[in-house]
Amino acid sequence: MKRQKRDKMTRAHAKGYQAGISGRSKENCPFQQNETRSQWLGGWREAVEDRQLGFTVK
């Protein structure tokens, strides 16, 4: 059975969330296209909110 790759938008969001949780700057976004960049930044924003609310596990 072949493994399907996750779509780029879901992956961009997940990578942005990981970057936000780890405290990286939003300026480090690796994506250039508007749609994927927007997804990455959305994930980053969610992570920053979660971090401020204390949802992170150290």
* Within a domain: 3: no
User: What does the pLDDT look like over 1-39, one tens digit per residue?
Assistant: 556 667 899 999 999 999 999 999 999 999 999 999 999
pTM tops 0.85, yes or no: no
* Within a domain: 48: yes
**Total structural domains in the chain?**
1
**Block residue for tokens 């976004």:** 29
For residue 27, the model assigns a pLDDT of 94
* Within a domain: 58: no
* Burial (CB count within 10 angstroms: exposed 0-12, middle 13-18, buried 19+), residue 57: exposed
* Within a domain: 27: no
User: Distances from the Cα of 9 to the Cαs of 34, 36, 45, 54, in angstroms?
Assistant: 11, 6, 15, 26
For residue 2, the model assigns a pLDDT of 58
Q: Which of 17, 20, 15 is closest to 30 using CA atoms? A: 15
Task: List the domain range (segments joined by +) for residue 41.
Answer: 8-22+32-53
* Within a domain: 13: yes
Instruction: Give the pLDDT mean for 29-52.
Output: 95
Angstrom distance (rounded) from CA 58 to CA 55: 10
